[in-house]
Amino acid sequence: MKIIDRYILKQYLIPFGYILGTFSLLYIILDLFDRFSDFVAVKADALDILLYYAYFLFKVNGFVPFLVMVLPIAMLLATLYTLTMFARHNELTAMCASGVSLRRLMLPLMMVGLFASMLGAVLQETMGPMATRWISDYTKRVLKRSSESSFIVGDYLYHSGTANRQWLIKQFDQRTPTVLKGVKVTHERPDRSLAMEVTADRAEWMDGTWWFYGMRRRDYNEKSDPVGAQIEVLDKPVEMTEYDEQPDDFINELKDVDFLSTTDMIRSIQKRPDVSGRWLAKRLTDINSRVAMPWSCLVLILLGLPATMGGARQSAMRSVAFGVVALFAFYVLIQLGMILGKRELISPWLAGWLPNLTFLGIGGWLTWRLR
């Protein structure tokens, strides 16, 4: 790494850290105003509170975690601040006089933006759903002191459209969906006639497959009338390898999209081919918006250099004003794209990527014009 790249990164990462830390601290303080009485009521110790807010920063709020949402904001403001200071102290002029182009000066910042985008995408898919579930469980168990029955799901119906199967589950615990009580699986033919019915006193998910305990099976003809005697296997568990439904499939149907990773959302769509076009548009728009959000870090940095090209007299307030307007327009486009996509007025992928594509075009064109 060249000396000039190290210098630029040092001058950039310090304000970036301050800005990101300030936004995170404000977010925690605002929530603490509401939660403080709850922590006092349950006599939560300092470690629990610290752990709560460590997860809280990664909790999905809307459609992405807070840190993924605020990361591009911090990166743009840090870029504007750093380049404005360079311009006011004539450092940009000195760098250009030494034969370094303005576009070359953006390279270390773009590399930071690329790294932040990839890191945000990974954290969003791994930490996001886990932190959201942890916060939800902690709130129910500790802060609200909900009873154990609040985690129990009864008489749950799950339809697997691709396999023409329906699961009716008498009872299971959302925290341990690998154990089901009172299971009845109904198999249907393509014409919706009853083909087979399998019941079990208990079902357990072990080693990637379902095992039925106290299994009973009844076959039906094309008229949905019983055929032959009922088959019973009561003395030993039966491995049901033909059932590809997983415990997470049952849980995901009960959850809001905030609790799901992108992989979970895609799997949910694949399991339900017979859903309405409006439902599919909403879910695909959520997926594309979530995937696109981390990459706004890289896109918004492109606006930094053109916005600070006012020479030594460049006003810091002008750069800040530009950043505020740019961020406002960016997040307006996010909401506009999601509304249009969920109402099927534009395609879901365009709805999700509309802000990034728009600002990539503007920022790329303005940056390319620089010499």
* Chain segment 230-268, per-residue pLDDT in tens: 888 878 899 998 898 888 888 877 777 778 888 888 887
Average pLDDT of the chain to the nearest whole number: 86
pLDDT (0 to 100) of residue 74: 93
pLDDT (0 to 100) of residue 2: 80
* Chain segment 165-177, per-residue pLDDT in tens: 889 999 998 888 8
pLDDT (0 to 100) of residue 312: 44
pLDDT (0 to 100) of residue 94: 81
More confident residue, 341 or 257: 341
Sequential DSSP letters for 46-66: HHHHHHHHHHHTTSB-SSSBH
pLDDT at 27 over 50: yes
More confident residue, 371 or 79: 79
Q: What secondary structure letter does DSSP report for 344?
A: T
- Rounded to 5, what percent of the chain is helix, strand, coil? 60, 20, 20
pLDDT at 145 over 80: no
Report the alpha-carbon distance of residue 168 to residue 165 in Å, rounded: 10
* Chain segment 307-335, per-residue pLDDT in tens: 766 544 455 667 777 778 888 999 999 99
Rg of the chain taking only CA atoms, in angstroms: 27
In 174-322, which ranges are E strands?
176-188, 194-206, 209-213, 215-220, 226-233, 238-240
* Chain segment 110-132, per-residue pLDDT in tens: 899 999 999 999 999 999 989 99
pLDDT band per the 50, 70, 90 thresholds, residue 186: very high
* Domain map (residue ranges) of the chain: 3-144+280-368, 164-243
CB atoms within 10 A of CB 48: 14
Report the alpha-carbon distance of residue 72 to residue 217 in Å, rounded: 56
345 token code pair: 């007025």
Q: Could you tell me which residues come within 8 angstroms of residue 202 by beta carbon, excluding any fewer than 6 positions away?
A: 179, 180, 181, 182, 183, 212, 213, 214
pLDDT (0 to 100) of residue 313: 47
Residue with tokens 């088959």: 231
Q: Using alpha carbons, select from 109, 110, 92 the residue that is nearest to residue 101.
A: 92
pLDDT (0 to 100) of residue 301: 87
Sequential DSSP letters for 115-134: HHHHHHHHHHHHHHHHHHHH
What pTM did the predictor assign?
0.77
Across 331-342, average pLDDT? 92
pLDDT band per the 50, 70, 90 thresholds, residue 197: very high
pLDDT at 54 over 90: yes
